[in-house]
């Protein structure tokens, strides 16, 4: 055993080990199974995700640093790991029929989904620049390949190249910021860094590092003006990948953002709060106004997801424990409604029809009432209409902003929600009012029905009875920081 690593460290990373083993099992099973039975791989993948979820159970109240402060195993990481694993499971269920239609081989696909999930889990737990960076890249490289997975499709190829170029570019910026953080503090551990930055508030070199890291992270969460890649990648990538990208990658990047800024740079909080304040307003406004003009539903959902990154940033700007709690709640709620909306788009995909244009939704209510109702619910939830989960999430975000005296931010957020209703309702109008059925016939499958049922149930239950989620998120936000107290928070 090398010095500095103990057996207990391996116990604490049990969920990550289980997921890694699951990913390898998928790869091996891909080789061993005959070609016509490879669709069974989705069940192997689901089993791996389920086993990982089960292996999280012993750590519900753990609060330790593993391997000399490389990873933190705490409730904050746990909360995000649950979000990632649930999103991964839903993505796998969505992919079964999609892969069959596209004729893509499922083995590498599911392996890469699990690898991306593994990277996200490391990002959420990482409290050291090295682990955060490795987790980020494990996730990003998997997503580069997944975005271009449908090789004969030129749109998928273009999406992959654009995502790769801007992802690698943003990585360079983020790493340069990290190198300055390391140089100024002499450590790579975020919690030690916070202490040594304590005396450096207002230092211009620290401000430069903060700006670079904000830009790097801004690319990953697709905040304006670093959002250019998102609409193209979301439109071109295979729909289940888009769904996972817009939920998992975004949540993981926010986990990374909170770890870096709240845990590592509390002394520069004036700087990054101001930057995120500007980014939040720009992101919400540009995202919503650009979404209004879109006729492709995947592209519209991409701009909507950009706008939602802006809403979530409100919680970060507020920076109170209430703000961080609202951020966690919103990311969980957003996962379900966003995945659900993409599941409906997957339903419209048929062998000869892409099914992601707005006109494909026309008359959906008469052709498939359940799918139309589900989409209606997700649109209302994304728009923030009660009694859906989206309303509760937005309510907490805006109230956290008001609580922290960011009145303008809350006001602009509310106005933006009003703008967003325009394009969400437009889909509903196409589904319920338009009678012509030009679009493709939606094809249901049992797995897609399960996805929709889960997403609908979560959107409704979390909207009507949100207290449990709020309490769990609040308990998770409290575990940030070395002492377990929210010393890092205002």
Partner 1 sequence: MVPLNYYLVLSAMLFAIGTAGVFVRRNLITILLSIEIMLNAVNLTFVAFGRALGSADGQIIVFFVMTVAAAEAAVGLAIVIGLFRHRESLNPDSWTALKW
- Contact positions toward partner 1, by CB under 8 A? 129-130, 133-134, 137, 141, 144-145, 148, 151, 154-155, 157-162, 164-165, 168-169, 171-173, 175-176, 178-180, 182-183, 186-188, 228, 231-232, 235-236
Nearer Cβ to partner 1 (188/280): 188
**Shortest approach of partner 1 to residue 181 CB, angstroms?**
10
**Shortest approach of partner 1 to residue 408 CB, angstroms?**
32
Nearer Cβ to partner 1 (222/372): 222
Nearer Cβ to partner 1 (169/373): 169
**Shortest approach of partner 1 to residue 232 CB, angstroms?**
4
Nearer Cβ to partner 1 (10/182): 182
Handedness of CA 136, 142, 143, 148 (dihedral sign): positive
Nearer Cβ to partner 1 (173/364): 173
User: Alpha-carbon distance 132 to 149, whole Å?
Assistant: 26
DSSP of 87-104: HHHHHHHHHHHHHHHHT-
CB-CB contact of 467 with 66 (8 Å)? no
**Shortest approach of partner 1 to residue 151 CB, angstroms?**
6
Closest CA to 214 of 104, 313, 136: 313
**Shortest approach of partner 1 to residue 231 CB, angstroms?**
7
CB-CB contact of 409 with 483 (8 Å)? no
CB-CB contact of 291 with 304 (8 Å)? yes
User: Alpha-carbon distance 191 to 64, whole Å?
Assistant: 13
**Shortest approach of partner 1 to residue 287 CB, angstroms?**
16
Handedness of CA 151, 89, 327, 195 (dihedral sign): negative
Query: Phi and psi (nearest 5°) for 363?
Result: 70, 15
What is the H or E stretch that residue 115 is in? helix 106-125
Nearer Cβ to partner 1 (293/471): 293
Handedness of CA 456, 457, 463, 468 (dihedral sign): negative
- The length of the chain is 490
Q: What token pair was written down for 352?
A: 């000869």
DSSP of 175-202: HHHHHHHHHHHS-SBHHHHHHHHGGGTT
What is the H or E stretch that residue 22 is in? helix 14-32
State the helix-helix crossing angle for 14-32 and 41-55, rounded to 10 degrees: 170
Nearer Cβ to partner 1 (189/381): 189
**Shortest approach of partner 1 to residue 133 CB, angstroms?**
7
**Shortest approach of partner 1 to residue 205 CB, angstroms?**
10
**Shortest approach of partner 1 to residue 394 CB, angstroms?**
29
Nearer Cβ to partner 1 (42/138): 138
Nearer Cβ to partner 1 (109/164): 164
Nearer Cβ to partner 1 (168/464): 168
**Shortest approach of partner 1 to residue 102 CB, angstroms?**
15
Query: Phi and psi (nearest 5°) for 64?
Result: -135, 160
CB-CB contact of 285 with 416 (8 Å)? yes
Nearer Cβ to partner 1 (185/269): 185
**Shortest approach of partner 1 to residue 91 CB, angstroms?**
20
Nearer Cβ to partner 1 (137/203): 137
R_g (Cα) of the chain, nearest Å? 21
Quick one: CA torsion of 408, 411, 413, 417, rounded to 10 degrees? -160
Query: Tokens 């509390």 appear where?
Result: 266
**Shortest approach of partner 1 to residue 199 CB, angstroms?**
17
State the helix-helix crossing angle for 446-464 and 369-383, rounded to 10 degrees: 40
Q: Is 461 exposed, middle or buried (0-12, 13-18, 19+ CB in 10 A)?
A: middle
Nearer Cβ to partner 1 (172/202): 172
CB-CB contact of 380 with 372 (8 Å)? no
Question: How many Cα atoms are found within 13 Å in the side-chain-facing hemisphere of 112?
Answer: 21
**Shortest approach of partner 1 to residue 190 CB, angstroms?**
13
User: Alpha-carbon distance 198 to 420, whole Å?
Assistant: 41
Q: What token pair was written down for 161?
A: 């190249």
């Amino acid at each position: 055993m090398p010095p500095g690593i103990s057996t207990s460290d391996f116990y604490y990373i049990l969920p990550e080990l289980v997921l890694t083993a699951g990913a390898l099992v998928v790869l091996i099973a891909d080789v061993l199974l005959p070609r016509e039975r490879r669709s069974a791989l989705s069940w192997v993948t689901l089993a791996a995700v389920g086993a990982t979820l089960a292996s999280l159970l012993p750590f519900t109240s753990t609060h330790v640093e593993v391997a000399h402060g490389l990873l933190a195993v705490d409730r904050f990481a746990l909360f995000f790991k649950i979000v990632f694993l649930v999103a991964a499971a839903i993505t796998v269920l969505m992919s079964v029929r999609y892969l069959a239609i596209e004729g893509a081989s499922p083995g590498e696909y599911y392996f890469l989904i699990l690898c991306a999930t593994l990277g996200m889990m490391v990002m959420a737990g990482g409290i050291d620049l090295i682990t955060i960076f490795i987790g980020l890249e494990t996730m990003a490289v998997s997503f580069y390949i997944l975005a271009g997975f449908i090789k004969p499709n030129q749109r998928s190829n273009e999406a992959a190249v654009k995502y790769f170029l801007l992802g690698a570019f943003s990585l360079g910026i983020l790493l340069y910021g990290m190198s300055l953080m390391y140089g100024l503090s002499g450590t790579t551990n975020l919690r030690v860094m916070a202490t040594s930055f304590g005396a450096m508030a207002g230092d211009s070199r620290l401000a430069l590092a903060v700006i670079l890291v904000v830009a790097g992270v801004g690319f990953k969460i697709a905040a304006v003006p670093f959002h250019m890649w998102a609409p193209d990648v979301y439109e071109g990538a295979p729909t289940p990948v888009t769904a996972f990208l817009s939920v998992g990658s975004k949540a993981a990047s926010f986990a990374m953002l909170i770890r870096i800024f709240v845990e590592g740079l509390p002394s520069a909080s004036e700087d990054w709060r101001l930057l995120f304040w500007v980014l939040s307003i720009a992101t919400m406004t540009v995202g919503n106004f650009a979404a209004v003009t879109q006729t492709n539903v995947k592209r519209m959902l991409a701009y909507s997801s950009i706008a939602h990154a802006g809403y979530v940033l409100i919680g970060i700007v507020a920076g109170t424990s209430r703000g961080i709690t609202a951020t966690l709640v919103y990311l969980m709620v957003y996962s379900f409604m966003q995945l659900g909306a993409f599941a409906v788009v997957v339903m419209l995909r048929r062998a000869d029809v892409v099914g992601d244009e707005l006109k494909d939704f026309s008359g959906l209510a008469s052709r498939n009432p359940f799918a139309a109702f589900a989409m209606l619910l997700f649109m209302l939830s994304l728009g923030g209409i009660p009694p859906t989960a989206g309303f509760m999430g937005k309510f907490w975000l805006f109230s956290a902003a008001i609580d922290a005296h960011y009145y303008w931010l809350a006001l602009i957020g509310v106005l933006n929600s009003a703008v967003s209703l325009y394009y969400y309702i437009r889909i509903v109008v196409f589904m319920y009012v338009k009678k012509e059925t030009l679009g493709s016939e939606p094809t249901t499958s049992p797995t897609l029905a399960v996805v929709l049922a889960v997403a609908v149930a979560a959107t409704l239950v979390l909207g009507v009875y949100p207290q449990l989620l709020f309490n769990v998120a609040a308990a998770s936000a409290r575990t940030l920081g070395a002492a377990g107290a929210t010393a890092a928070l205002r």
